């Protein structure tokens, strides 16, 4: 079952290209980590916390959505 991943989950993490992704296999010490940073660390933190709460709200809404029951006859 394929699940859609929310764009909110990786707010601070930059998406690498396929070449950078392949190079990360050999980046044992995390030298090439990239993050989406703003001018202010406080603003980054506030935005990341907001995104976390929005993901939790999406999860809670998913729990409240009724799942159809399939019965075999």
- For the stretch 22-36, pLDDT in tens is 777 787 777 766 666
What range defines the domain where residue 66 resides? 1-73
Closest by Cα among 3, 14, 6 to 38: 14
Given this model, what pLDDT does residue 2 score?
46
Phi first, then psi, for residue 35 (nearest 5°) are -130, 150
Residue with tokens 């050999």: 26
Which token pair is 59? 């999860």
Number of structural domains (the chain) is: 1
Band of pLDDT at residue 72, cut at 50, 70 and 90: confident
CA distance linking residue 67 with residue 46, whole number of Å: 34
Who has greater pLDDT, 14 or 30? 30
């Amino acid at each position: 079952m394929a699940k859609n991943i929310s764009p909110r989950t990786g707010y601070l993490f930059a998406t690498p290209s396929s070449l950078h992704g392949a190079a990360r296999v050999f980046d044992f010490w995390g030298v090439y980590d990239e993050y989406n940073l703003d001018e202010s660390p406080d603003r980054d933190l506030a935005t990341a916390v907001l995104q976390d709460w929005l993901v939790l709200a999406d999860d809670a809404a998913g729990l409240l959505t009724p799942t159809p029951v399939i019965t075999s006859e």
